[in-house]
Structure 1
Amino acid sequence: MTGSWEESFKQIAEAGYDGVEAGLPGPQDQQRFMDLLEQYQLKFIAQIYTHGNHSVSFEEQLLRAKHFSPVKIVSHSAQDCMPFRDQLRFFGRAVMLEAELGVQVAHETHRGRAMFTPWNTARLLQHFPQLKLTADFSHWCAVCESLLENQVYNVKLAISRSVHIHARVGYAQGPQVPHPAAPEYQQELLTHTRWWREIYQHRSKEGAECLSVTTEFGPPNYLHTLPFSNEPVANLWEVCDWMRQFIAAEIARESFNE
């Protein structure tokens, strides 16, 4: 979002969102950020991004994020090119820290990270029953260049561990369609909706009080742009808010419970 935090928080609250998902503000802005959360009665989902020594980076950011009392923490964890034995060490330490600190961490299925494919994610989930996910399957569509038709088992395993959704729609050639309402992407929208519905059903059966969803469409160049002018082909706020209304309508029709 562009503009000041004050403007953004006001716009988010007035649109009917329950919270914000964002990276951690700098130390000098921490109190201002927390004051705005309180002013607008918005919950907070913190994003962290591991780098360098990924285990040390994860622990440092986890400890800092805990000070904000987030409802959960979304982590871009480890790296796609990291040897699997190092991934095992990283996630073994991660689940131990999560238990010690009493915070819920949802590792995102994101390109460039350890969980960049359905099959590598499945291997990690099989090793660690405690691991939980942020389901952003749009990335897997791009990596696998498909709607994951041949990854049914791995996707179902991921669904069973997902506690948070990034409701972006991907397609075979990229992680974000220009607009999810466009009829040419109807199949992609229906496929992602089916996955989200299954997550909702699974969490309901587990007795979860809620399922958090962020309508996370990215800015340019995630959002397609026109050549030469670099003008976005759609309005980002409208795209995200269309998805918010779509999901609210799906739940209102109880289709998520079918």
Structure 2
Amino acid sequence: MEIKYFCPRWGSTHLSFDRFLRKVRDAGYDGVEMSFSSEMDQVEKSEMLDGLTHYDLELIGQQWRTTDRNFNTHLYSFEKHLFKLCEGKPLFINSHTGKDYYTQSQNMTLINRAREISKEMGVKIIHETHRGRWSFAAHTTKEYLIKFSEIRLTLDISHWCNVAESLLEDQEEAVAKAIYHTDHIHARVGFQEGPQINDPQAPEWKKVLDTHLCWWDRVIALHRQKGSDFLTITPEFGAPPYLPLLPFTKQPIVDQWDTNIFMMNLLTERWK
């Protein structure tokens, strides 16, 4: 089974898209995970897609822009952004879906609408485990997965550690359920008090890092057992405010790009 690594556009928007893509290619990534802004016109989108082709990079579409509180407005925005991403013919779309305060019925309306758009456009759509969304916590996500077994996930388990203020030692059933439904990994390391440790290379985070590595090992093993052709991973240590800053100077205490390269190399060596 091939493991493909994708670079987040998040944190690199200060670079021109061409400069970003050259940097991504030279770092050894297989592709980019990113969204399209609602203001982007067809010409700009075509130039971006041509750039991906030029540098032989694949695209994972990322839908995170739906934040409306009103459900009907949220649904309209959700549809609009998914259709826009589908036009780019990504490998698949990773969606931040729904709200933690929407009812299960409302969130399932969004999930089912994503399924309809997926069938109509021929693009797979999966849903990220993320704070603020329907999948904000391990225990609530488990209930959805029990009732709606067709849901597929991007596993960003860092959020659940933060929400539960634990490394989920007492929620193994929910973690196992999520791993079974995972088709994409966001390799960010969270801890009991936050969604991102400051530096995965620091020895004080070894236990936390090892816990995440073991979770991801289980995803890899399951897909190998299933005979999957490939599995995708985005090392997604984020830009500020995920990335801690020094007080007063607001200087980052680590380099986001270098941290994600470290994670890609660590995982490549682990699973080679």
**TM-score computed with the length of structure 1 as normaliser:** 0.94
Q: Does 1:68 align with 2:68?
A: no
Alignment of 1:1-258 (within 5 A): 1=12, 2-25=14-37, 26-27=40-41, 28-49=43-64, 50-52=66-68, 53-252=73-272
* Displacement after TM superposition at 1:229 (Å): 0.8
**Are the aligned partners of 2:97 and 2:107 in contact in 1 as well (CA < 8 Å)?**
no
Cα shift at 1:130: 1.3
The gaps in structure 1 that reach 5 residues or longer are: 253-258
Report the CA distance between 1:141 and its aligned residue: 0.7
Match of 2:9 in 1: none
Identity level (%): 37
Is residue 54–residue 77 contact of structure 1 (8 Å, CA) maintained in 2?
A: no
The alpha-carbon deviation at position 126 of structure 1 amounts to 1.6
Q: Deviations over 1:130-156 (max 9, x none)?
A: 110000000111111111111100010
Partners of 1:141 and 1:175 within 8 A in 2: yes
Alignment partners' CA distance in 1, 2:84 and 2:113:
17
User: What does the per-residue CA deviation read over 1:75-125, in whole Å, with 9 as the maximum and x for residues that have no partner?
Assistant: 000001112222233223333332343321120111111100011111111
C-alpha contact (below 8 Å) 1:92/1:128 kept by paired residues: no
For the residues of structure 1 that align with 2:258 and 2:110, how far apart are their CA atoms? 38
Cα distance between partner residues in 1 of 2:20 and 2:113: 36
Distance 1:63 1:221 in 2: 29
Between 1:201-210 and 1:93-102, the stretch displaced more is 93-102
1:195-225 per-residue CA deviation (whole Å, 9 max, x = no partner) reads 1111111112222111100011101111111
Partner AA of 2:56 in structure 1:
Q
8 Å CA contact 1:110–1:139 kept in 2: the answer is yes
Q: CA offsets, 1:133-183, max 9 Å, x none?
A: 000000111111111111100010000011000000001110001111110
Contact 1:95-1:130 within 8 A present in 2 as well:
no
For the 8 Å contact 2:237–2:243, the answer to whether it is kept is yes
- Equivalent residue pairs, number: 252
| Distance in 1, Cα, partners of 2:75 & 2:156 | 22
SS in 2 for 1:211: strand
What is the rounded CA distance, in whole Å, between the counterparts of 1:97 and 1:32 in structure 2? 24
Q: Which moved more, 1:118-127 or 1:88-97?
A: 88-97
Residue type of the alignment partner of 2:60:
I
Greater RCO, CA 8 A, separation 6+: 2
Amino acid at match of 2:136: F
CA distance in 2, matches of 1:96, 1:8: 33
- CA shift, 1:230, in A, is 0.8
Does structure 2 retain, via aligned residues, the 8 Å contact 1:109–1:135? yes
Write the distance in 2 (CA, Å) between the matches of 1:200 and 1:76.
23
| Matched residue, 2:4 | none
Shift of 1:65: 1.1
- Of residues 120-129 and 53-62 in structure 1, the stretch that sits farther from structure 2 once superposed is 53-62
Two-structure CA RMSD over aligned residues (Å): 1.3
8 Å CA contact 1:132–1:163 kept in 2: the answer is: yes
